Amino acid sequence: MEVSLRCGALHRRGFLLGAGAAALALHPWLARAASGDYQAMILGCIDPRIQEPVHDYAVKRKLVGQYSSFTIAGAAIGVVAPAFDQWHQAFWDNLAASIELHNIKSVIAIDHRDCSAAKIAYGDASIATPEVETETHRKALAEFRNKVAERQPRLKIETLLMALDGSFVSLS
Ligand SMILES: [Zn+2]
């Protein structure tokens, strides 16, 4: 009980100090173990089919060993869709922590085609054709960019939609 009360107090303080500072207060070992100067956070979906394409993308971008990773159903859709509102704060807290701990300069959101989370969030029709699907992700990624710009104005933002074969379009 005492522990959860203390966590609550730290969490509330976290909104004033920044979630990264709260993470450091809760886990001082994180600062020792993981502080440094890294490039990016990659936000991706939990879908098993997209893990390797996302990793290959990181290899091509020479980001291996240089990025933190946040993986959640729908990628940017998991962060902005009302259907998943219980998840949103976890992303913002982790992004703030990675900025503080890892000094990342950018966030790269990688949505993907044939994503079940898009169907859950916006309905089956939202990904019924490749064109409609592209527009669904274009809107979600635009909302994602707006929210990141509001909360973390110094962070660079890249947003893309990847097919299961690893080909992708930039949607910015
Ligand atoms: Zn997905």
pLDDT at 11: 46
- Is 119 in the same domain as 164? yes
- Is 56 in the same domain as 128? yes
pLDDT at 27: 59
pLDDT at 129: 97
Range of the domain at 82: 36-170
Distance from the alpha carbon of residue 124 to the mean position of ligand 1, in angstroms: 13
- Is 17 in the same domain as 41? no
The total of structural domains in the chain comes to 2
pLDDT at 19: 60
- Is 19 in the same domain as 90? no
- For residue 96, the Cα-to-chain-centroid distance in whole angstroms is 11
**pTM beyond cutoff 0.75:** yes
- Is 86 in the same domain as 137? yes
- Is 98 in the same domain as 15? no
pLDDT at 130: 97
First to last CA, the chain: 46
CA dist., res. 120 & res. 144, Å (int): 18
- Is 18 in the same domain as 48? no
- Is 4 in the same domain as 57? no
Distance from the alpha carbon of residue 132 to the mean position of ligand 1, in angstroms: 16
- Is 25 in the same domain as 62? no
Distance from the alpha carbon of residue 73 to the mean position of ligand 1, in angstroms: 5
Tracing tokens 């450091």 back to the chain, one arrives at 24
pLDDT at 2: 41
Distance from the alpha carbon of residue 160 to the mean position of ligand 1, in angstroms: 13
- Is 76 in the same domain as 122? yes
CATH of the domain at 53: 3.40.1050.10
- Is 121 in the same domain as 164? yes
- Is 100 in the same domain as 131? yes
- Blockwise average pLDDT, block size 10, the chain, 172 residues: 42 49 60 75 98 98 96 98 97 96 97 98 97 98 98 97 97 88
Distance from the alpha carbon of residue 113 to the mean position of ligand 1, in angstroms: 7
Tell me which H or E stretch contains 111. strand 106-112
